Amino acid sequence: MYRLTFRLLTLLVLIFSTALLANAKRYELRSGIVEYKSSGGGSIMGFSQKSEGSSKLYFTDYGNLELQEHTEKQTTMGKTTSSHSLIKIDHGKLYIVDDEKHVIYTKDLDELMQTQKGKKDLMKMGKEMMQQMGGKKVGTGKVLGYPCEIWELMGSRVWLYKGIPLKSESNVMGFKHTEVATKAKFNVHVPKEKFKLPDYPVKTFDQMIHEEMQAQPQQSEEPPATAPAQPQISPEQMKQMQEMMKNLGKMFGGQQ
């Protein structure tokens, strides 16, 4: 859940910051292939976790067709597990692949713009949407020599080069996560097979938000005496998770 939350927070920053771009272009470059390395860690009530991984970003048509592939290993109390995820944007439609559940969640991103329908000032619209989520531009920097704008939203910071993420940092519920580009090629040919998704059943994003809310542990529940000790989320961490899921639900039209 934490890894998925990091991805969604980063994706939110990208959606709202790239809403500033005109002519329906998410990015200012035609195509690209970017490779990343990631690391993170934190603890819940004394249970420590560490993670490391790699990612790839493929996009064409100025970002209207995009696929993010993430592979990560997470170690908790000496036990290591692996995860693989795909996030695809295809001309206004979002797909999130859950390899553990073998399901694809989908959402029409155009619905995010319905409340702003009719507005012609896209830059003003984008800033208003960012402000509603508490997001803001906080500075500038460089990644791989590329000049970037730094955007902040909901505990995440993203370094954007012409709208393209080259670095991200999250500090959520005591868990820190950093992802930074190690290679980047722009305006290159990207094979069509890079955007193919597995043949999984499809559910709505609303269903995913509802399932995640239902899956959150309850503080009042007592584990069976024979069950192994599990990390417990503190009241403050639980409050932060609930607030994030509430915001995600609001912005994507999910359950309240």
Residue by residue, pLDDT tens for the chain (256 residues) are 445 555 555 555 555 555 444 346 778 899 999 999 999 888 766 678 888 999 999 999 988 899 999 898 988 888 898 888 899 988 888 898 888 889 998 888 766 555 445 444 444 555 566 566 677 889 999 999 999 989 887 778 889 898 888 998 887 767 788 999 999 999 999 999 999 999 999 998 777 777 766 765 554 445 444 444 444 444 554 445 545 544 444 444 444 4
Does residue 158 fall inside a structural domain?
Answer: yes
191: containing domain: 2-204+230-251
User: For position 189, what pLDDT does the model report?
Assistant: 97
Tell me how many domains the chain contains.
1
- For 152, other C-beta atoms within 10 Å of its C-beta total 17
Does residue 182 fall inside a structural domain?
Answer: yes
Q: What is the pTM of this model?
A: 0.74
Does residue 215 fall inside a structural domain?
Answer: no
Beta bridge partners of 248: none
User: For position 245, what pLDDT does the model report?
Assistant: 47
Whole-number Å distance between alpha carbons of 250 and 84: 27
**Angle, helices 235-251/205-215, rounded to nearest 10 degrees:** 170
CA of 94: how far to CAs of 61, 68, 115, 159, in Å? Answer: 16, 11, 19, 22
CA of 164: how far to CAs of 5, 63, 125, 181, in Å? Answer: 20, 9, 20, 11
**Angle, helices 2-18/235-251, rounded to nearest 10 degrees:** 40
Does residue 221 fall inside a structural domain?
Answer: no
